[in-house]
C-alpha cells in the first residue's frame, strides 16, 4: 500500500445511458483491483442509488467512476459529487461537459491548432434537405454520429447518398444533435494521458468492420491493438503532443484518452474520452501496462491523484 493507506470507496457504475453494460463490465474488473489493493468499496448505481449516496457521503474517502455516456461522463454526475463533497477521479463538470459534446470539443481542438476532419453539427430542428446539401458538399463516404454519445453508438459510415436518411434517423434516435463529418481512411490510433503525461500510443486495427465501432470495441478478437503503435518517432511524439493538447484544451485532469486517425502522415483528432473504458479489452489500461502500470497500479495511481487534488 502507498501513502494514501486503506480507503473506503464509493464505486459508481451502471447508470441510464446506452453504455450501461460496458460500464458494469468495467466495474467488475475495477472491483478485483480494489480488492487486490486492500481498499474497501461499496457499489452504487447512479440509475437509482444517488439519494442513498448523498445521505452517506461522509462515510467515504472518495468515489471511483466507471460510468460512460450521458448522465455519467457529461458533467451531471460530477456536479452531484461536487455538491455532496465527494472527490472523484477524472474531469470535473466543465471538462466533462466540453469533451462530451463532439461538436464543441472539435471547435476547441481547432482553436488549439489541432487538425480535425471537416464536419458540422445539426440539431433535430434542421431539415433533412439542409443536412443532405451539406453531405453532398463534403462528399461520400461520410460519417454520421450523435454529438453526445460514446462507444460509437448510433454512428454510421454512409457510402452512398441514398443511405444518408437512414443514418441521420439512427443518430437522431439517440441524440438531439448529430455531426456529419468527412470520412477519413487511415491508421486509427489513441493516446492516453495519465497525470498530465502521455502514455505509449496504441494502434487499433479493426479485423472485420472498417471502423472501430461498438461491436469491434467490446468483442475480444474483432480488433488488434498494437502498443506501442507502429509509427515513426516523429509521428509518435506528435500524436502524444496532440493528446496532451486535447487534454489541456478541454480542461481535463488525472487521465483521458484521445482518438485520432493518421492519413498520409497527417494526424486528425476525432474525440476525447474523459472516463476511458476499464474492461479487459480497453485501450488506456493497455497503454498504461506498456508504460509499466499493472491494472491495480493504474487504479491506485488514479486514487492518489483524486486525493491529491480534492482541495483544488
Active site residue 151: yes
Which grid cell is 180? 456529419
Instruction: Choose the catalytic residue: 19, 73, 177, 188.
Output: 19
Q: In this structure, what DSSP letter does residue 140 have?
A: S
Say how far apart CA 175 and CA 69 lie, in whole Å.
Answer: 11
Provide the grid cell at 218.
Answer: 467490446
User: First CA to last CA across the chain, in angstroms?
Assistant: 24
Dihedral Cα 271, 190, 260, 154, nearest 10 deg:
-50
Consult the annotation and say whether 273 binds a ligand.
yes
Q: Which of 23, 151, 152, 256 is catalytic?
A: 151
Measured over the CA atoms of residue 189, residue 192, residue 197 and residue 199, the dihedral's sign is negative
* Separation between Cα atoms, residue 265 and residue 275, nearest integer Å: 28
Residue 197 phi, psi (nearest 5): -130, 140
Our answer to whether residue 169 is catalytic in this structure is no
Residue 261: which of 272, 271, 270, 250 has the closest Cα?
A: 270
Cα–Cα distance between 30 and 28 in angstroms, integer? Answer: 5
The burial of 135, by beta-carbon neighbours within 10 Å (0-12 exposed, 13-18 middle, 19 or more buried), is given as buried
Tell me if residue 119 falls in helix, strand or coil.
strand
209 is catalytic: no
Rounded to the nearest 5 degrees, what angle is found at the Cα of 89, between the Cα atoms of 95 and 112? 30
Consult the annotation and say whether 196 binds a ligand: no
42 is in an annotated binding site: no
Kindly list the catalytic residues: 19, 151, 282
Q: What are the binding residues?
A: 259, 271, 273
Q: What are the binding residues for Mg(2+)?
A: 259, 271, 273
Amino acid at each position: 500500500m502507498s501513502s494514501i493507506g486503506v480507503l473506503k470507496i464509493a464505486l459508481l457504475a451502471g447508470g441510464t445511458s446506452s453504455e450501461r453494460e460496458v460500464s458494469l463490465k468495467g466495474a467488475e474488473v475495477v472491483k478485483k483491483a480494489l480488492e487486490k489493493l486492500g481498499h474497501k468499496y461499496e457499489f452504487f448505481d447512479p440509475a437509482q442509488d444517488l439519494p442513498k449516496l448523498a445521505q452517506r457521503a461522509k462515510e467515504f474517502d472518495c468515489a471511483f467512476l466507471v460510468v460512460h455516456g450521458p448522465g455519467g461522463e457529461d458533467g451531471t454526475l460530477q456536479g452531484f459529487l461536487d455538491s455532496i463533497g465527494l472527490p472523484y477521479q477524472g474531469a470535473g463538470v466543465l471538462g466533462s461537459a466540453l469533451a462530451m459534446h463532439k461538436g464543441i470539443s472539435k471547435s476547441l481542438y481547432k482553436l488549439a491548432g489541432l487538425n480535425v476532419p471537416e464536419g458540422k453539427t445539426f440539431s433535430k430542428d434542421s431539415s433533412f434537405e439542409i443536412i443532405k446539401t451539406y453531405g453532398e458538399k463534403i462528399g461520400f463516404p461520410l460519417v454520421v454520429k450523435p454529438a453526445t454519445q460514446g462507444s460509437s453508438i448510433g454512428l454510421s459510415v454512409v457510402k452512398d447518398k441514398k443511405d444518408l436518411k437512414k443514418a441521420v434517423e439512427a443518430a437522431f434516435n439517440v441524440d438531439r444533435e448529430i455531426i456529419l463529418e468527412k470520412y477519413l481512411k487511415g491508421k486509427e490510433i489513441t493516446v492516453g494521458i495519465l497525470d498530465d503525461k502521455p502514455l505509449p500510443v496504441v494502434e487499433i486495427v479493426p479485423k472485420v468492420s472498417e471502423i472501430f465501432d461498438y461491436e469491434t470495441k467490446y468483442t475480444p478478437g474483432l480488433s488488434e491493438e498494437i502498443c506501442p503503435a507502429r509509427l515513426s518517432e516523429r509521428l509518435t511524439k506528435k500524436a502524444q503532443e496532440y493528446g496532451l493538447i486535447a487534454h489541456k484544451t478541454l480542461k481535463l485532469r488525472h487521465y483521458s484518452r484521445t482518438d485520432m486517425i493518421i492519413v498520409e502522415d497527417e494526424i486528425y483528432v476525432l474525440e476525447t474520452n474523459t472516463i476511458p473504458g476499464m474492461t479487459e479489452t480497453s485501450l488506456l489500461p493497455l497503454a498504461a501496462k506498456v508504460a509499466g502500470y499493472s491494472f491495480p497500479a493504474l487504479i491506485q495511481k488514479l486514487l492518489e491523484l483524486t486525493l491529491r487534488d480534492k482541495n483544488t
